[in-house]
């Protein structure tokens, strides 16, 4: 990586808030730990780790320390750099089919891996999420599911009765909740393993093609808030960063509120920078939440994002034919651009503090698996 990229990255991370505005800031976003020392009977003092004071505020005030650190990292760099992200597939030659292709084409790996609980692949997603986190990367998970489970086809074909779905005690409600709880259990395993998740359920909700969007905005808002409450309060999922993912249209009347999400985004496959959606998303809330381009096909040149004034928090290219449909030369340019963060440029996520400089590794270290 060239020196200008290293220097620019560290400086921008330190001054992010003054340059762009970033996420909502709050003075009481801390993780509760004893800020003292503990003595045993012999009066030997044992130092206790001081509390981590987060710069930016998550919707869940009880979010755990590592999740707060990751959110600080995202907010610090929003508007100046974009994290690279790639959605995986699981039905090709290897679960790393897309990652291997990117590494072969660019010499780098994405900062973030996209996974999907589709077809109840809870164990597999948990395993691969842990492995990617241990490699030093970020994790985002979506979920193609029917009302009561299964995969992509059911997510589109199911036609819900929202009056029954949203009424506690009905068989329809109980069956839906039972399915949700399977995902919650998997997310809890990641929590217990210290893995934060950029959680993107019910994506493209305002498009109307998935069952969760077929009841209109009001029913969707109730559905989203119901999941948020259950996952946050019943399951204690303190490792989630909630990503609200609109379709390309970004329709009015679907926003569940600032207290129920942390990042908002939109997607398109029209090969543009998606600036029209960027402008709409900015008008949804004045909370300063980061914006993400959570699905795309061909990623444009970085200079086009800069020209349009829409440096998203991250872009995520979809799997299989979509990533391979990108021009190889352009993909290489994008992944090696000084404005794009790859996995080798991520800091130690367990110790990151807002404003920290980024410690970068050479591309050769990734190739050799270090």
- For residue 42, is pLDDT > 90? no
> How many angstroms from the chain centroid is the CA of residue 279?
20
Task: Give the phi and the psi of residue 317 in degrees, each rounded to 5.
Answer: -80, 140
Look-up of token digits 């992200």: 85
- For residue 4, is pLDDT > 60? no
Structure tokens at 3: 């020196």
Q: Say whether pTM exceeds 0.95.
A: no
pLDDT, greater one: 191 or 366: 191
- Mean pLDDT, to the nearest integer, of 285-306? 97
Q: How far apart are CA 235 and CA 184, in angstroms?
A: 7
The pLDDT confidence band at residue 36, using thresholds 50, 70 and 90, is very low
pLDDT, greater one: 277 or 362: 277
**pLDDT tens for residues 63-79?**
999 999 999 999 999 99
- For residue 6, is pLDDT > 50? no
C-beta separation of 72 from 23 below 8 A: no
- For residue 115, is pLDDT > 90? yes
Burial of residue 218, with CB atoms counted within 10 A of its CB: 0-12 exposed, 13-18 middle, 19 or more buried: exposed
Query: Each residue of 224-248: b (16+ CB within 10 Å) or e?
Result: bebbbeebbeebebbbbbbbbbbbb
C-beta separation of 184 from 131 below 8 A: no
Domain boundaries, the chain: 3-367
The pLDDT confidence band at residue 358, using thresholds 50, 70 and 90, is low
Q: How far apart are CA 77 and CA 93, in angstroms?
A: 35
Average predicted confidence (pLDDT) for the chain: 88
- Mean pLDDT, to the nearest integer, of 294-315? 98
Superfamily of 3-367 according to CATH: Glycosidases (3.20.20.80)
pLDDT, greater one: 89 or 366: 89
């Amino acid at each position: 990586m060239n020196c200008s990229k290293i220097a620019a990255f560290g400086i921008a991370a330190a001054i992010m808030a003054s340059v762009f505005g970033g996420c909502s800031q709050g003075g009481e976003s801390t993780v509760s730990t004893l800020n003292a020392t503990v003595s045993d009977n012999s009066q030997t003092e044992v130092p206790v780790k001081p509390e981590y004071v987060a710069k930016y505020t998550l919707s869940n005030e009880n979010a755990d320390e590592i999740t707060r650190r990751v959110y600080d990292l995202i907010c610090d760099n929003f508007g100046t750099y974009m994290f690279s992200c790639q959605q995986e597939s699981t039905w090709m030659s290897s679960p790393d089919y897309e990652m291997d292709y990117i590494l072969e084409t660019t010499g780098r790996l994405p900062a973030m891996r996209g996974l999907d609980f589709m077809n109840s692949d809870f164990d597999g997603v948990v395993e691969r999420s842990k492995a990617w986190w241990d490699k030093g990367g970020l994790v985002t998970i979506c979920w193609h599911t029917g009302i009561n489970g299964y995969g992509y086809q059911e997510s589109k074909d199911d036609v819900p009765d929202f009056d029954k779905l949203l009424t506690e005690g009905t068989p329809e409600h109980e069956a839906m909740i039972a399915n949700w709880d399977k995902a919650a259990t998997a997310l809890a395993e990641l929590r217990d393993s210290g893995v934060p998740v950029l959680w993107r359920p019910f994506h493209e909700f305002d498009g109307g093609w998935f069952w969760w969007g077929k009841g209109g905005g009001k029913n969707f808002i109730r559905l989203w808030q119901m999941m948020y409450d259950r996952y946050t309060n019943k399951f204690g999922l303190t490792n989630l960063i909630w990503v609200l993912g609109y379709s390309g249209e970004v329709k009015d009347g679907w926003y569940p509120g600032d207290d129920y999400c942390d990042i908002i985004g939109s997607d398109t496959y029209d090969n543009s920078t998606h600036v029209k959606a960027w402008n709409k998303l900015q008008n949804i809330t004045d909370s300063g939440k980061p914006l993400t381009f959570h699905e795309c096909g061909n990623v444009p040149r970085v200079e086009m994002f800069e020209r349009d004034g829409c440096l998203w928090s991250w872009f995520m290219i979809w799997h299989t034919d979509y990533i391979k449909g990108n021009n190889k030369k352009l993909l290489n340019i994008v992944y090696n651009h000084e404005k794009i963060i790859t996995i080798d440029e991520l800091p130690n996520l367990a110790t990151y503090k807002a404003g920290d400089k980024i410690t970068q590794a050479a591309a050769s270290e990734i190739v050799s698996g270090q």
